[in-house]
Amino acid sequence: DAGVIQSPRHEVTEMGQEVTLRCKPISGHDYLFWYRQTMMRGLELLIYFNNNVPIDDSGMPEDRFSAKMPNASFSTLKIQPSEPRDSAVYFCASSLRGSGLGTQYFGPGTRLTVL
């Protein structure tokens, strides 16, 4: 398996622009997670899905952030409008429910820079 795939790997945009981050989870996994990592706040869970349904979005910072999972093989995290403080590395992870709640497999991340 190719693992979790994220695109783009790097994104540079200007404040106010819409940004869409994409994730393809490992085939067969039924959980998908979006995380954000910054130097100040570390690794934060933003939202996670189970069987394509959002379960907990309490980590989403504000209404500018939205996430969708239209099918089992694709998810997006959208920021509209983007702000400089959104600059971070965004990770997608997937897992399969099992013993110990399932190992999470992380993608390589998308480094977002908002100017």
Binding residues vs other proteins (CB under 8 A): 4, 33, 42-45, 48, 50, 55-56, 91, 93, 100-101, 103-109
Q: Which is nearer to other proteins, 17 or 51 (CB)?
A: 51
Q: Are 75 and 94 in contact (CB under 8 A)?
A: no
The three-class DSSP label of residue 30 is: coil
**Beta carbon of residue 47, minimum distance to other proteins (angstroms, whole number):** 11
User: Least distance in Å: CB of 61 to other proteins?
Assistant: 16
Compute the least distance from the CB of residue 15 to other proteins, in Å: 25
